[in-house]
């Protein structure tokens, strides 16, 4: 198995054009008579090998944008494509299939299932991706080794440190070598040194050809990105 975070030269892009693209995305929520406009005509695209930061204050729509791009939430207007494949306005089953195969997801928390070991968490994602020949123990071991997690393969999430948990979450996100990695505040609870370590791993992930999109309040994340997308009140503004 090719190491997903190798420090070698960047791999050739796996898709022509943007790896992920959202066009004129609108999303609103209604509670009683009150309507919240979470996204207002947002356009975003990320190329293979690019690391992009989504910045903005709390409540600006960053998490909603990532949810729509991942197919976890349906936009009320606009569309999303993953490597040219439409994911929005399809059945949940179809969206889940595309998500499992082509999108890796990394969160500040809840990336790991507590009653499964690190290795079992990775195995579950590979199984859901339905990729034959990649679910054996040797392949999982290679992935965990590339992230410095070999000695933690049989450990449960509750016994991991913050940095170990972030690396394990990244292993889960990379289990199926996705074209797109979406990360929502992945370094929010980390100290400065551990945040730098995780950002280096995300940079190396982009160098291998994945499109990496990170929503974060962190100045370090913004500084590490190739470019920034700024959201305020659900609209794009100059970063």
CA distance 72 to 17: 23
What is the structure's pLDDT at 83? Answer: 87
Tokens of 189: 């609870």
pTM, full prediction: 0.86
pLDDT digits (tens, 9 = 90+) for 51-87: 999 999 999 999 999 999 999 999 999 999 998 889 9
pLDDT digits (tens, 9 = 90+) for 13-38: 444 689 999 999 999 988 877 888 99
What is the structure's pLDDT at 136? Answer: 64
Tokens of 75: 């936009």
DSSP-derived 3-state class of residue 24: strand
Share of residues in the chain with pLDDT > 90 (%)? 63
**Domain segments of the chain as ranges:** 20-237
What is the structure's pLDDT at 140? Answer: 81
pLDDT digits (tens, 9 = 90+) for 160-201: 998 899 889 999 999 888 999 999 998 888 889 989 988 999
CATH 3.40.50.300 describes domain 20-237: yes
Q: Is the dihedral angle over the CA atoms 15, 18, 24, 29 positive or is it negative? A: positive
pLDDT digits (tens, 9 = 90+) for 84-115: 889 999 999 999 989 988 999 998 666 799 99
């Amino acid at each position: 198995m090719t190491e997903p975070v190798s420090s070698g030269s960047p791999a050739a892009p796996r898709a022509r054009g943007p790896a992920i693209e959202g066009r004129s995305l609108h999303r609103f929520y209604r509670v009683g008579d009150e309507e919240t406009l979470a996204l207002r005509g947002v356009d975003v695209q990320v190329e293979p090998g690019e690391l992009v930061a989504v910045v903005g204050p709390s409540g600006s729509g960053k998490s909603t944008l990532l949810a729509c791009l991942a197919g976890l939430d349906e936009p009320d207007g606009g569309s999303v494509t993953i490597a040219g494949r439409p994911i929005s306005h399809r059945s949940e089953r179809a969206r889940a299939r595309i998500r499992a195969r082509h999108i890796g997801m990394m969160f500040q928390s809840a990336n790991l299932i507590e009653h499964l070991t690190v290795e079992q968490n990775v195995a579950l994602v590979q199984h859901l991706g339905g990729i034959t020949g990649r679910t054996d123990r040797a392949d999982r071991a290679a992935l965990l080794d590339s992230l410095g997690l070999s000695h933690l393969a049989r450990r449960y999430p509750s016994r991991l440190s913050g940095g170990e948990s972030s690396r394990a979450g990244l292993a889960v996100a990379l289990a199926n070598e996705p074209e797109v990695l979406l990360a929502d505040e992945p370094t929010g609870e980390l100290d400065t040194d551990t945040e730098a370590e995780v950002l280096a791993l995300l940079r190396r992930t982009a160098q291998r050809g994945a499109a990496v999109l990170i929503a974060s309040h962190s100045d370090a994340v913004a500084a590490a990105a190739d470019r920034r997308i700024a959201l305020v009140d659900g609209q794009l503004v100059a970063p």
